[in-house]
Each structure stands twice: as structure tokens, then as C-alpha cells.
Structure 1
């Protein structure tokens, strides 16, 4: 496998710069973000020339102040040491709602007002009220639609992916990817069962879960995760840890997945053989494991590939797309990842791009490495998905050595 010092240096510098930008932004977000998320909509909706009656102004202001105070308190109570699900639901919902209100207050508060001014429609108060009702209407629509999108069973996204080193005997191998199920405060046991039922209609040879199973310990979320034990695959079901496992007793999740019949690929691999050809299926712990303090946990690609024939094609499971820098340096053929959620609530994807080399879909890295990044099967925190639909992914691996092989990198969505 290819491995040059110059490639490692260049890709390492890129990763350091990317992390540096993210950390500079993230340092101030906890202090500034809550204020902006509530203050900007409050100003746009109430104080930009609408001349509301005093009771409306006072009530509206009180609601925004209540949101500003209540959201961080509820999130701290729900996601902090107490782990109270009711508080997490309230805090997460307020977070998502405030983000949507903020986004459309900024966009419509500037663009719509500018359009009305250019068109000469109404005086300043008429324009202000038009903007207010437009922001409220669009935000309500996004909240309702986003909630439905988050709670539905994901559609199946199918891709044919050609791997140059894949043997003809493995042509047509069906790999199903689910990830970021994030079982959490909202009980999704029924949703989980329906997801697994849909996976079982895909006749997978290999089913992969690339981490972030849940928010909470395995004991606490066991009922929601239990349907994963019903998933069917003709060859194997494999799993790697995500960063959220390391917030909630990662080893417990590794043990539970093993109990449910999944093979935890913790810096190790298995061989998948068919038609006289072999595929190395490897997995690594999430990169956050290195600082988790858990003995034996950490992302070690060399350990994952130890003993594997370097001439064989490799399918690698790694939770975060950013691991592709290491994968490409070692000439991995295909990496499967999740983590990004496709941004989950637009336009949050711009912040995700500061930390990750890919947001969603298939991308090329290095001389031969392909990365597929799933938008995720579930949702984290706010129960909304806006312009970032969830997915169950079916990847059909294609060999250039097969008698007939469809074109590569083709994608379409099926029901």
C-alpha cells in the first residue's frame, strides 16, 4: 500500500489548519451563540419598525428572554450530570427552533426587506410587518417539516461504486450502511424497529453501523437499540464506535452490540470471501477514543490492518470523515463514515465543513481512496432535519474485472 512521508506531511498540515479554524470558532460559540440565537429574532420580529401595541411588545420580549434563559438551563440539566430526558427534550427543541428562527430572521430580515424597498412596496412599518409574518410563517413551516423529516424512516440511497482492486468474484457485493442512530431522550424504539425492517428488505451481504448509536448508556437505551439484533446480512454485521459512545460508557455499547450479534471492529479486520476473491473489512475506534482515558481504546489503522495481505482491497469503517487523511495515506480503497448528519439543520453545514473534509456522498482522496459519508440514519439533539434528509445507504460494489460492470459512482434514491 502507498505510504509516503510527503503525502503524510501535506495531509497532516491540512488537518491541523482545519482543526485550528474550528477551535478558534468553537471557543466563543458557548458564550455568544445563545445570545445571538434569541436576540436577533427578537430584534427583527419586534423592534425594527413594527410599532406593536405595548402588551404585544412586552409579551414577545418576555418569551424571547425566557427562551434565552431556559434553553441553556434545560440542556445543562438534560445533557449534564443529571441526564434528565424531559429537560433534554425541551432544551434540544428550543435549540433547534431558535436556530431556525435565527436563520430566517437574518435571511428574510435582510433580503425580503431589501426586495420590498427596491420594489417600492409599502412604507417602513408595512415592510417591517411583512418581514415579521414572513419569518414566523417560514420558520413554522421549517419546524413542522423538519420534525417530520427527522422522525420518518429514512429513504434508501443506492450507489454503484467501482473499486479498481476488487476481484470479479466480489462484483455486486451489497453493503448497507446505517449510522448515527442517536437513540436518545425521545423514545424511538418503534422507529428503530421500522429502520431495521427496511434494512432487511435490501438483501445485504454486509451491514455496517459506523457509530453514534445513542446518547446515553447502553443500559439506559437498550430498548431502543434492541431491534438492531434483528438486522439480517448474508455475510456479516459490523460496527465501530462513534464519538458519542465515548460520552456514555463506550465499552458498554461495544458489549451490547456483540450481544446483539454484531461484530465490533475495534482496530481489527475480518475477511469477506466470495467467488475466489477476498475483501478486507476493517474498522477503527473513533478518533476521540484516543483522549477518552479508556484502556485499549484508540484509532489505530495499523492494528486494524495487521496481518492483512496488502494486495487485497480494503473497506474501512471509521466514524468521522476526517480519518480519511490517514486512510488515503495507507491506500485504503473505500472508507465508510457518518458523523456529519449532512449538517442536519441548514445552514449548519457551513460549520461542519470547518471540521470535516466531506459533508455527504462520495468523494475522492489521494491516489485511490474513496470516501462515502452518510447523512446519518437518525438525528442528534434537536428533533429536526432541514434540507439534510436522513438515509439508509446501499452501496453495490463493482469490479472492473467482471464480465459486465455498470458505470461507477452512479447514485439514485429509491423508496
Structure 2
């Protein structure tokens, strides 16, 4: 038998070194990311063989340098202790703009340049200038379209969801999901009212908000959140906290939603009954709640289901899709989540998938658990949505007994 006792400390030390290196890299990310975002497109658009006139090169480089300095400063003033909304708008807009420009500088800088070489179009300078103009035009179009997508009232996404344990009496139950409204520096009170008007046209039995109501405290964003009080549902309006509530005095948001007539499902449940059948509607605090330091705030599924009849199907509200493993182990039939924004600005969804098990839509987990992940109703930070449209979701719950009837 091999004695591994001598190798374990070395393995542990190596793992510790890797973890330490990762932590150092994460600390450097706020410095490294802006430098890459601004210097890469600056080089590819101005200094990669275009041979622009000197005034053009100098002016363009100066603009990129100004953005490199100005964006982090605006972000700090807008999202740091000062919480200056105007600075946040500037910083967020610059972040979205440079992300799109960076992405397409890299994509077209490689693919289009290669295509031009293979097609033997022009010389090196001509190809470089064609790529630059293509990148600038593509970025401008995507940012204009993305801004319109972010600011519009979301489209309604409708789907039937069959739950094997749902009784026939609850067949056709209409559940409307809104999430990640992110009321913030850009005043969206009118947008909020229009979203609520659209929700009210859907004749919901149950309306759910799965968190990230706003960026800022309830007192500061009250005017934008107030229209939520006009939402109608025949049975209940329920809400759970998201991670952004825990950046902004979460208990204040819980109290405001309660004041507006919503049921904050903080690790508890209610029963939706119809036609002799019962659906357990449960909710948990966001998974970041416990680390917030707020007394009594944590994601506690057992507490949410305490006293519920295990024979009844369970609909669970949990802000982050990553809660699905616990939900599946706890016998949940359907979990509703948000948080991902569908990536919001392509190709950011690749980074989201590193942290979450689902990006958008309906997915299956375990033996019977379904997860629906919304792309979100609003937007966070940069006022753009590129290839990740917002949504108001209508889920019609279906019973197999009812659907199999002649």
C-alpha cells in the first residue's frame, strides 16, 4: 500500500498557492479590465496599419485615453460611497459602449481582415481602414439598437409548463414573472408604470418578482418602484430578494414591497388552492443574504417549506439559478429565477455561464425539477441589451391529468 501522507502537505501547499494567485488576479481585475477594454480597440482601430493622418491618430488616441481615465472615475463616483447618479450614468454608458467596441474590434479585426486577405482586397492599409470603418459602424448600430431594446417595455414571453404532480383543478394557472427591474440612476418611473400596465393585461393568478428590484435604497428609488403597487393578480403577488437588495439595505425593500401589497416570501410559503387542488408557492432569500450580515436573512429552503404537505407540488422563487441543486434535492417541482439577464450584452453570457447553471429559458434538473430562468425585465448598469432581449414571462401551468383528457 502506498503511503501518501508525505505528499498531502505538498498538494495542499500547491492548492493554497493557486488560490492565493487567483485572489491576487481578482484584486487586479478592476485595473487590468479597463486597460484591456480601452487599449485593445485603440490599437486595432488606430495603430494597426491604417496610417491615418497624424491629427486623426492623435485625436483618436486622446479619446481612448480620456475614456480609460474617465470611466473608472465615473464608476467609482457613481457606484461608490458618493452614489452620484449622473456619474453612474456616464460610467455605465462608457462601460457598455467600450465593451461593444472591444468585442467587435477583436471579432472583425480577425475575421474580416482574414476574409479581405483571402479575397485579395486592396493592400494592407486599405484592409486595415476597411476593418476600422466596419467596426465603428457595427458598434454604432448595435449600441443604438441595444439602447432601444433596454429602454423598451419588454415583450411577453409565453409558454406552457407541465408539472406532473399538479392537480387538474390548478390546470391553466397563470403565473407572471418579472425580475431584475433594477430601478437606478436613469429615472424609469414611466417605464415602470408601463411594465405594470402590460402585466395587468395578462390576467395573472399569481405575479412573481424574483428580486433585484433596484440599485439604491428603497427610500431613494421609491418613485420608480411605486407602480408595482398597481399590479393585479387574482390570488397573490409574491416577491423574494435578489443580491442587489443586499447592496442597498435589503430590509427596506422588503418593507416597501409589503407596503405596496406584495407578499415577501422570506423563507416561507403560501398555498394557492383551486378546484380541490393545492400548489405550494415558496420563496427563499438570495444566496448572498447570509454574508450580508443582516440578522435573519439567509436562503433557507427547509424553513420555506416547513409545514407544507410533501404531496403537493412546489413552486419556488429563488433569485439565482444556482439555487437549483438545493431545490431539486428538496423536491421542488418548478423554480423561477432571474439574475442572469441572459448575458445582457453579447458575448458576456459566456462569463455568466461560468457562475450559473442556466442562462435563460426552461431547463430540467434532477428527476422532476424544472427551472425557468428569465432574461430579466430591466437592465443593470450599461443601458444596452445586445442579443439578450428583456422579457415579461407568462407561464401557464398544466396538469397531466387535464391535458390527457379527451
TM range (shorter): over 0.9
Cross-structure match for 2:156: 156
Structure 1 pair 403–123 and aligned structure 2 pair: CA distance change class (3 A): closer
1:220 and 1:319, CA in 2 relative to 1: closer, same or farther beyond 3 A?
same
Counterpart-to-counterpart distance in 1, 2:319 and 2:240: 7
Matched, 1:236 2:229: no
Rounded to whole Å, the distance in 2 between the matches of 1:268 and 1:252 is 19
Is the counterpart of residue 36 in structure 1 residue 42 in structure 2? no
**Quick one: distance in 1 between partners of 2:397 and 2:153?**
24
Asked whether the equivalents of residues 399 and 405 of structure 1 are also in contact (C-alpha less than 8 Å), the reply is no
**C-alpha distance in 2, partners of 1:343/1:242?**
17
What are the residue-to-residue correspondences of 1:234-273 with 2, within 5 Å? 234-273=234-273
> Which deviations, in whole Å up to 9, do the C-alpha atoms of 1:279-335 show, x marking residues without a partner?
000000000001000001000000000000111100000000000010011121000
* Counterparts of residues 3-402 of structure 1 (less than 5 Å): 26-402=26-402
CA shift in 2, pair 1:135/1:405, >3 Å: farther
SS in structure 1 of the partner of residue 289 of structure 2: helix
SS of residue in 1 equivalent to 2:203: coil
More deviation, 31-40/197-206: 31-40
1:56–1:319 Cα change, 3 Å: same
Residue 288 of structure 1: SS of its match in structure 2?
coil
Q: Distance in 2 between matches of 1:220 and 1:244?
A: 14
Aligned position for 1:5: none
Per-residue Cα deviation, 1:356-415 (whole angstroms, up to 9, x for no partner): 000000000011100000000000000000000000000000000115579xxxxxxxxx
1:3 aligns with none
Structure 1 pair 25–118 and aligned structure 2 pair: CA distance change class (3 A):
farther
Superposed CA deviations along residues 246-304 of structure 1, whole A, max 9, x for unmatched, are: 00000000000000000000000000000000000000000000100000100000000
Q: How far apart are residue 31 of structure 1 and its match?
A: 2.5
Distance 1:324 1:23, change over 3 A: farther
- The number of residue pairs the alignment matches comes to 388
> 1:331–1:367: 8 Å Cα contact kept in structure 2?
no
Following the alignment from structure 1 to structure 2, what is the Cα–Cα distance between the partners of residues 404 and 363?
23
Larger of the two Rg values belongs to structure: 2
Output the TM-score relative to the length of structure 2.
Answer: 0.93
* Deviation digits for residues 223-254 of structure 1 (CA, Å, limit 9, x no counterpart): 00000000000000000000000000000000
Tell me, in whole angstroms, the C-alpha distance in 2 between the residues paired with 1:152 and 1:102: 25
Give ranges in structure 1 of 5+ residues lacking alignment: 1-18, 407-415
Distance 2:300 2:185 in 1: 32
Q: Distance in 2 between matches of 1:252 and 1:193?
A: 21
When the two structures are superposed, what TM-score results if normalisation uses the length of structure 1? Answer: 0.91
1:29, distance to aligned residue in structure 2 (A): 2.8
- Residue 13 of structure 1 corresponds to none
Deviations 1:101-145 (A, max 9, x none): 000000000000000000100000000000000000000001100
Contact 1:142 1:386 in 2 (8 A): yes
Are residues 363 and 25 of structure 1, via their aligned partners in 2, closer, same or farther at CA, if it must alter by over 3 Å? Answer: farther
Greater RCO structure (CA 8 Å; 6+ sep) = 1
Moved more, 51-60 or 280-289: 51-60
Q: SS state of the match for residue 370, structure 2?
A: strand
In the alignment, is the contact (CA less than 8 A) between 1:181 and 1:377 conserved in 2? yes
Distance, in Å, in 2 between the alignment partners of 1:221 and 1:35 is: 33
Question: For 2:288, what is the secondary structure of its paired residue?
Answer: helix
Q: Which residue matches 2:14? A: none
**CA–CA distance in 2 between the matches of 1:25 and 1:245?**
27
Task: Give 1:32 shift.
Answer: 1.4
